[in-house]
């Protein structure tokens, strides 16, 4: 018996149905329980920067094309806490010949200690549809908060560098201010003093490496380098003040006074 067969048209994928989503990998901040990609940034490592440009990753559901494609991205005003003057959405695109893209957001350095949140949602644009519902929300939070030092041995380092009426080896935080500590971090780029591997020149002692933003005073005291650090801090402050309003203490016994480096 010979039976006939009919040809069926081979289906093809229409790129007009391509879609976009946020990164959906938990390693990069995606939380399936809230269907949200979480990202955060702290200005504490660049505390005097006016702003930074932060990128939130996008993924393409579909095929690459030979042209850039614009993504629809809007702010969820109900869930966001950041005021409009603290951010700008610069662009949201999937570049040509790419399966990934980004939303670029310009976020401004807060002048207070608050943490601000910007919640973004993806929609449908002329170039791309919105992807799966579980991957259309991202939350970006940022602040300029720097953890206050609690260990006496790093408080001493602070007092070795910042001018006050206290003795240079004092463990008192009576004249401590976050603004002065941020100035120290900006001047020296210190953010890894809690990582012994980042400072192999010093013998490992667990109690020396407890706080990222200041070295233990025993490191700078033994080598008498505190005086040179203070001198360099003074130069940094002088150069900063040439083009900016002088920074002032924002807490403690010196609140409102210009921040100065200790001299030896």
* Per-residue pLDDT at 15 exceeds 60: no
State mean pLDDT over 66-93.
97
- Going from the C-alpha of 148 to that of each of 26, 168, 177, 194, 221, the distances in angstroms are 30, 19, 9, 14, 21
State yes or no: pLDDT of 193 exceeds 70.
Answer: yes
Structure-token pair, residue 42: 């702290």
* Whole-number Å distance between alpha carbons of 128 and 64: 12
Residue 134, pLDDT > 60, answer yes
Query: Bridge partners of 106?
Result: 53, 88
pLDDT recorded at residue 147: 87
Cβ density class 118-154: b for 16+ within 10 Å, e for less: bbbebeebebbbbbeeebbbbbbbbbbbbeebeeebb
* Mean pLDDT computed over 92-115: 95
Residue 83 phi, psi (nearest 5)? -70, 160
* pLDDT (mean) for 94-118: 95
- Determine contact, residues 155/174, Cβ cutoff 8 Å: no
* 1 pLDDT tier (thresholds 50, 70, 90): very low
For position 201, what pLDDT does the model report?
85
> Hey, what are 99's tokens?
């399966």
pLDDT at 63: 92
**E-strand stretches of 49-111:** 51-61, 69-70, 72-75, 87-94, 100-108
> What domains can be seen in the chain, in order of their start residue?
15-143 (2.60.40.1740), 152-254 (no CATH)
Q: How many helices (H) and strands (E) does the chain have?
A: 4, 11
Partners of residue 59 on adjacent β-strands: 21, 100
Least confident of 83-92, 131-140, 197-206, 208-217: 197-206
- The mean predicted confidence, pLDDT, of the chain is 91
Percent of the chain with pLDDT over 90: 79
> What is the per-residue pLDDT for 12?
46
Look up residue 36 and give its two tokens.
């949200």
Q: Which residues contact 243 (CB under 8 A, 6 or more apart)?
A: none
Average pLDDT over residues 93-121: 96
Which pLDDT score, from 0 to 100, does residue 79 have?
Answer: 97
Give the per-residue pLDDT at 7.
52
Asked whether 159 and 234 are in contact (CB, 8 A), the reply is no
* Over residues 153-163, mean pLDDT: 97
Query: What's the whole-number mean pLDDT along residues 176-201?
Result: 93
- For the chain, the straight-line distance linking the first and the last C-alpha, in angstroms and rounded, comes to 107
Give tens-digit pLDDT for 222-255: 878 999 999 999 999 999 999 999 999 999 999 9
- Reported confidence tier of residue 44, pLDDT bands at 50, 70, 90: confident
**Residue 218, burial from CB neighbour count under 10 angstroms (0-12, 13-18, 19+):** middle
Could you give the CA distance from residue 53 to residue 51 in angstroms, rounded to a whole number? 7
């Amino acid at each position: 018996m010979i039976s006939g067969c009919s040809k069926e048209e081979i289906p093809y994928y229409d790129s007009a149905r391509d879609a976009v989503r946020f990164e959906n990998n938990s390693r990069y901040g995606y939380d399936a329980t809230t269907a949200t990609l979480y990202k955060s940034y702290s200005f504490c490592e660049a505390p005097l920067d006016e702003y930074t440009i932060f990128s939130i990753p996008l993924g393409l559901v579909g095929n690459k094309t030979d042209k850039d494609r614009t993504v629809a991205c809007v702010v969820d005003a109900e869930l966001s806490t950041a005021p409009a003057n603290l951010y700008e959405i610069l662009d949201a695109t999937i570049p040509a010949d790419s399966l990934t893209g980004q939303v670029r957001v310009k976020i401004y350095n807060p002048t207070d200690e608050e943490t601000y949140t910007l919640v973004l949602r993806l929609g449908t644009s002329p170039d791309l549809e919105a992807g799966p519902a579980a991957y259309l929300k991202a939350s970006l939070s940022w602040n300029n908060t720097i953890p206050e030092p609690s260990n006496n041995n790093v408080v001493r380092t602070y007092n070795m560098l910042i001018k006050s009426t206290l003795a240079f080896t004092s463990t008192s935080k009576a004249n401590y201010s976050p603004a002065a500590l941020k100035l120290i971090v900006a001047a020296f780029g210190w953010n890894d003093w809690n990582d012994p591997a980042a400072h192999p020149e010093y013998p490992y002692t667990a109690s020396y490496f407890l706080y990222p933003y200041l070295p233990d005073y025993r490191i700078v005291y033994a080598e008498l380098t505190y005086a040179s650090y203070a001198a360099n801090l003074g130069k940094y402050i002088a150069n900063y003040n040439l083009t900016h309003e002088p920074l002032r203490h924002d807490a403690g016994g010196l609140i409102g006074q210009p921040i100065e480096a200790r001299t030896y």
